[in-house]
Amino acid sequence: MVIKISNLTEADIPGAVAAVQDAFKNDPYNGWVYDHSKFNQQRNATSLGIRMRWGMRNGIFHVAKEDGSDKVLGVAMWLRPQPANSTPTWNDWLEGWRLYFNQVGMNLYYGRGGLNVKRYYIWKDAQAKVQSEIWDDPRGTTF
């Protein structure tokens, strides 16, 4: 079996979403941050799709497929490296707001889908603290 790596495309998004959902369905964080009695898989798929479209424009998002097949076997999602002290560009700023408003619209349509917002922000704060401690290379860091 030959695996091909390529840039994520719009046509790949449903398969990439399924790969991410499958990879994390039994993840301890997933069980902690979501109330699975209220979990909405379609809402989660929509959220991941929004983030993947953002990543196609702003990140380094790849999919793995078996040669000759369109089935997505895996997905890699990376932020582009940038110098640690660089200021966001106007495009970065606009894309951040575009992502935000797309997520707000999705939340208005689907609701929280079982997401425990308090726990989500506990994780985001802990993540930011760790990243600020380890991301100290002036050339930037890829995550």
Name the E strands within 49-143: 59-66, 72-79
Q: Which of 94, 99, 93, 62 is nearest to 78 (CA)?
A: 62
* pLDDT per residue rounded down to tens, the chain (143 residues): 899 999 999 999 999 999 999 999 999 999 999 998 999 999 999 999 999 999 999 999 999 999 999 999 999 999 888 877 788 899 999 999 999 999 999 999 999 889 999 999 999 999 889 887 777 777 766 65
The full set of domain ranges for the chain reads 3-79+86-134
62, 54 Cβ separation under 8 angstroms: no
Dist. CA 92–CA 73, nearest whole Å? 30
